[in-house]
Amino acid sequence: MEDSVNQELFSRLFLLDGPSLPGKLKFRPLQRTDWQGEFNTLLNCFSEDEYELNKQDFEARFDLIQSSFPKSYFIVVIEDTVTNEIIACGTVFIEYKFLKSVSKAAHIEDVVVAKSYRGKNLGKLLIEMLCKIAKIEKCYKIVLNCKENNVEFYTKCNFKAAGIEMKQYVN
């Protein structure tokens, strides 16, 4: 049987002393077994083209992230411990920079809360947890991109508009 520590994307120590979740909800790292269930459904909220994440693709990507980017890539989920469902997730990854005296910057991505759990402050608590990880990693800034309809939410999470996002899709 595989060691449960290796089944988690990163150490749970990063989640200690984080914000408290209500009821039977808990923060935890993404696990190698999470390809089943709500994780794929949550991710499909971001895309117009639904993609059914299969076990092989999920595990290959999980293993790549875990082996190639230790202490750089943190995918945090909120699990309902009654139903064992993932009801929210978010990612913070650490960029190692030459600028600012070889500092680090954090990027928050893919933040989503299941529709049935929205309006319960979980998104804000998830952002707080992701920011806590960035602070543990001594990042000098935390950046994210969002759609215009989410600006008010991120403003409530202490983010400020800064610049304009530019994209070029290559595929």
pLDDT digits (tens, 9 = 90+) for 72-123: 999 999 999 999 999 999 999 999 999 888 999 999 999 999 999 999 999 9
**pTM of this structure:** 0.90
To which residue do tokens 């991120």 refer?
A: 154
Backbone angles phi, psi at 32, to 5 degrees: -60, -25
Strand 141-144 versus strand 104-113 pairing type: parallel
Domains of the chain (ranges; CATH) run 4-156 (3.40.630.30)
Residue 144 tokens, joined: 């994210």
**pLDDT recorded at residue 48:** 66
Confidence of residue 1 (pLDDT cuts 50, 70, 90): very low
To which residue do tokens 């600028």 refer?
A: 99
To which residue do tokens 């190698």 refer?
A: 32
Q: How far apart are the first and last CA of the chain?
A: 39
Choose between 27 and 164: higher pLDDT. 27
Contact 107, 144 (CB under 8 A): yes
Residue 5, Cβ neighbours under 10 Å: how many? 10
